[in-house]
Amino acid sequence: MAMDFDPSGRLPAFFQNSGTSSFTQFLTQAAPEMLPGRRPLPPGMAADIAPHGTTIVAIATAEGVVMGGDRRATMGNLIASRDIEKVHPADSYSLIGIAGTAGIGIELMRLFQVELEHYEKIEGTMLSLDGKANRLAGMVRGNLGAAMQGLAVVPLFAGFDLTPSDPARVGRIFSFDVAGGLYEETGYDSIGSGSLFAKSALKKKYRPGISTDEAVRLAVEALYDAADDDTATGGPDLTRKIFPVVMSATANGTHRLSEQEITAVAEQVVSGRMENPGG
């Protein structure tokens, strides 16, 4: 870390600057090498050197949002990981899922988590949901250089809005593009290699105002459909008991479905598909 060796031992001046409430902004002074997007990359495509995470779905419900992600990471034709977790809480009321280069995605997600918590502690108040989404868009934009060389990462962000402009829309979903474009989605969205199939599944089954439990089921169904047609997306692994990570964000905060809960849902989905493979 770039902490100078001040013989007095006091913290470097930028620790005490009143300036910013942003952790990333602070890192540009304290430890710029820790920021993604600040590292010079050698020229050339590097898409195949690191594992890629795949499909994430998010669904807005009457109580908030549900987000689910499959557990596979791939490297070319290989499965790099069977049990990677790509959906995480961003803070007490919001969720983030990542698709793309797993290493950079996980770093981005960790940084975003600290960013939100840091702001909350410094300012004594949480960022608004739009504020969080904008912040994340900025961080994705910072990775544009690496994205152009094949190390792209695209998050999906969803959360419970504590101050909704429309009380019926407490769950909101935001998607991003590699250039940092921010788009608010209506109802549901999906990212990653299997997103095409997941979205098609959601389009047919989603209706506004569904309950959290229904949305959980729907998310697992959509991930099943994605895995059905996309090699890079993993389906429910019954032999190893590896099932999608599904989380919800409601007025009660974020909640990750326990092992038992998700096992039950996944088994229902699979047994349904035994009779009707198309779902």
Binding site for other proteins (CB under 8 A): 1, 6, 8-11, 15-16, 18, 23, 26-27, 30-31, 34, 89, 91-93, 110-111, 114, 117-118, 120-122, 124-128, 162-163, 251-255
User: What whole-number distance in Å separates Cα of residue 98 and Cα of residue 192?
Assistant: 8
Closest approach of other proteins to the CB of residue 269, in Å: 25
Closest approach of other proteins to the CB of residue 193, in Å: 29
Find all residues with CB under 8 Å of 130, minimum gap 6, and list them.
none
Angle at 160 between CA 267 and CA 66, to 5 degrees: 15
User: What whole-number distance in Å separates Cα of residue 163 and Cα of residue 96?
Assistant: 19
Query: Is the CB of 111 or the CB of 226 nearer to other proteins?
Result: 111
Contact call for residues 143 and 116 (beta carbons, < 8 A): no
Measured torsion, CA atoms of residues 207, 210, 213, 216, in degrees rounded to the nearest 10: 40
Closest approach of other proteins to the CB of residue 108, in Å: 12
Closest approach of other proteins to the CB of residue 104, in Å: 16
* 3 state DSSP class of 135: helix
Query: Is the CB of 114 or the CB of 238 nearer to other proteins?
Result: 114
Query: Is the CB of 118 or the CB of 141 nearer to other proteins?
Result: 118
Query: Is the CB of 24 or the CB of 195 nearer to other proteins?
Result: 24
**Beta strand ranges found along 145-187 (DSSP E):** 153-160, 171-176, 182-185
Closest approach of other proteins to the CB of residue 190, in Å: 24
Active site residue 231: no
Query: Is the CB of 211 or the CB of 252 nearer to other proteins?
Result: 252
* Catalytic residue (choose from 20, 28, 54, 61): 54
Q: Which residues face 231 on adjacent strands?
A: none
Which residue type does 247 have?
M
Q: How many CB atoms lie within 10 A of CB 64?
A: 27
Find all residues with CB under 8 Å of 240, minimum gap 6, and list them.
82
Kindly list the catalytic residues.
54
